[in-house]
Amino acid sequence: MRAFRAVLPRLRPDFAFLSASLLAVSITTTAWAQPVQPPAAIAEAKKMVICADIGSPPLSFYKDDGSLAGAEIELGNAIAKQLGVSAEWKQVQFDGIIPALIAKQCDVIMSELYDKPKRREVVDFVDYLASSQSLVVLKGNASHISGLADLSGKKVAVENGTTIQSLVDDENKKLAGEGKAQAQVVVFPKDTDAFQALRIGQVDAYGTTIKTAGYYFKQAPDLFEMGGEPFAQAIIGAAFRKDDTELQKAFAAALDAVRKDGTYKKILESWGIERDAL
């Protein structure tokens, strides 16, 4: 013990206090950095498989080199990192995405999926973003579209299985009841295909989320504009099988961790959607 004491220099009180403070910070930082414990199956696989219909910028899309980009992609990757595993993204058409989850083709859905009561009958959610719907038209708005009612007798492009498709279908029922011409709904398998239909003038309007609309406005501000104000505000969530409560809880804890360490805010700000934070 005497030899041990001789090796350690006597610290001045102020340095002793500083050393204790640094030690406390080190311990706190180390504890904070510990990943959230994932379910055993996820830990053993060393990955979390995420179903997504990739093609709705700025949340998820393929870059020119084939790599993935977008706010949902970055958020999913950050959550997987908190769980101590990698994220594996699985492309699934939107109208088949919940059946794919139920069939255990993936562990979770992150695909701008709205948290709706009807969907909660079959899956559970952990919410992470707010959103709303919009109509996009070519610059000048020659068809004078300012809302769903103005789609009467006009062509509108939508992605199959989406909320905007359901809203247009509901509007058509109203129009029919009023004896007015219904909107001609042109359904596409991908949101990007629906957008291209507007771009080349095949339709009068393109229905999508306000996030995707905003992305296209930034890309080509001289080509597009909003057909009225955003509508049908809703919440986006990650979906889980009802019997997979362990992963749902771990995912929620990991999401909370990326909120606390600033990653969540940084991701949303980098894609210009920080106003949609929850």
Sign of CA dihedral 195, 69, 133, 136: negative
Domains and CATH numbers, the chain: 40-127+240-276 (3.40.190.10), 132-233 (3.40.190.10)
d(CA 237, CA 240): 10
pLDDT tens per residue across span 163-179: 999 999 999 999 999 99
Residue 90, SS3 per DSSP: strand
- Both tokens of 272, joined, read 């210009």
pLDDT at 236 over 60: yes
Q: What is the pTM of this model?
A: 0.77
Dihedral sign, Cα of residue 205, residue 225, residue 198, residue 57? negative
Looking at the predicted structure, is the pLDDT value of residue 24 above 90?
no
Q: What is the pLDDT of residue 14?
A: 43
Q: Report yes or no: 144 and 150 within 8 Å, Cβ to Cβ.
A: yes
* SS3 sequence of 141-197: CCCCCCCHHHHCCCEEEEECCCHHHHHHHHHHHHHHHCCCCCCEEEEECCHHHHHHH
